[in-house]
Amino acid sequence: MGWFSKKDDDFFLATVVPNDDGARVGKYLGVVNGEAIIGANIFRDLFSSVRDVVGGRAGGYERALAGARDAALGEMVAAARELGADGVVGIDFDYEVLGEANGMMMVSVSGTAVKMAGRSS
C-alpha cells in the first residue's frame, strides 16, 4: 500500500495513491486538511536546552509534537468524512515554527478525500 498506509474497517489513510493489495480509489472528492498549533512552555524549553547540551532526546517536545500531529490528522479525517469519504490518499505532513520568538509550532496535514472502490455506504 505504501509508506504510512493504514487500512481498517472504517477508514483508509495513505501517503500514496494505492494501486495494489486490492485497494483502489473509486472517486476523488477533493482536498482536505487539518492543522494544530502547539506552544512551547518555559520548563520544556529549559529541559530541552539541557538535553541539547548533554545529548539525549527531548521527550516533552516529542510527546507534544505527536499530540499535535494526531490532532491535525483527526481534523483532516473529520473533514473528509463530511464529504462522504471513506479514505484519504496523498497525505502530506508539514511542520512550521511560528511566532516572533519561535515559541510555537504548527503541524499541518493535507490529502485528497476519496471514496474507495468496492466499499458500500
Total of domains in the chain: 1
| Predicted local distance difference test score (pLDDT) of residue 66 | 87
Is 55 within the bounds of a domain? yes
Is 11 within the bounds of a domain? yes
Instruction: Identify the CATH number of the domain in which residue 53 sits.
Output: 3.30.110.70
Number of neighbouring beta carbons within 10 Å of residue 115: 17
Q: What is the DSSP letter of 99?
A: S
**Structural domain of residue 88, as residue ranges?**
6-116
Is 43 within the bounds of a domain? yes
Do residues 90 and 17 touch, judged by C-beta distance below 8 A? yes
Give the CA-trace dihedral at 60, 64, 66, 72, to 10 degrees.
-170
pLDDT (tens place) for every residue of the chain, 121 residues total: 444 555 555 788 888 877 766 678 889 999 999 999 887 654 455 455 555 545 566 666 777 788 889 999 999 999 999 999 999 999 999 998 877 666 788 899 999 999 988 765 5
Is 1 within the bounds of a domain? no
Secondary structure class of 38 (helix, strand, coil): strand
Is 121 within the bounds of a domain? no
| Three cell numbers, residue 27 | 472517486
